[in-house]
Amino acid sequence: MDKGFVMKKADMAQVSIRVKKVYQLILQGYNSFEIVTYGKEQTDWGVGERQLRTYIAKAKKIFEGIVEKNRDMLLGKSITRLEDLYRKSSELMDFKTCLAIEKVMIDTFGLQKPKQTNEEDTTPETVDFEYEEIE
C-alpha cells in the first residue's frame, strides 16, 4: 500500500464478508499466522495485522456461539457416539478399545475419584466429655 493512499474504512457488510472468509479459513485448518499472511498477500482488504487479528477473534466468536448454542446436543451426540463405539468394540471382543473408550468417558465427564494427598488431617480432634442428665 502506498504511504500517501488512505484506505476507506470498511462498512459493516464488508467486515461481515471478511469475517466469514476468515471463518472459512479456520474451518480449512489455517492458523492465525497463515490467516494474517493470507489477508495481507491475497486480498485487497488493505488492512494490517491488527485488523486481521480482530477478524480472527470475531470468527472465533462465531465458533463459540455455535458451541454454546448447541452444547447439550453436541454433548449428547458425543456420548452416543462413544457408547456406540463401545458396543461395537465389545461385540468384536476388542476389549483394549473398550477400555480406551471407558477412560475417555471417565476423563471427559470427571468420573474419577479425587486423588488422595498425603496432607495431614487438619480436622479437629473430638473431645470426650461426660454429661449429666437433667431431671
pLDDT in tens, 14-72: 999 999 999 999 999 999 999 999 999 999 999 999 999 999 999 999 989 988 889 89
Whether residue 58 is contained in a domain is answered as yes
Contact criterion met (CB below 8 Å) for 53 and 32: yes
* Residue 114 belongs to some domain of the structure: no
Instruction: Establish if 104 belongs to a structural domain.
Output: yes
* pLDDT exceeds 60 at position 1: no
Number of domains in the chain: 1
The residue segments making up the domain with residue 46 are: 12-108
Rounded to two decimals, the pTM is: 0.54
Single-letter amino acid, residue 11: D
Q: Which residues contact 112 (CB under 8 A, 6 or more apart)?
A: 106
- Please indicate, yes or no, if residue 102 is contained in any of the structural domains: yes
What is the rounded CA–CA span in Å between residue 50 and residue 48? 6
Name the residue type at position 105.
M
Cβ contact 10:45 at 8 Å: yes
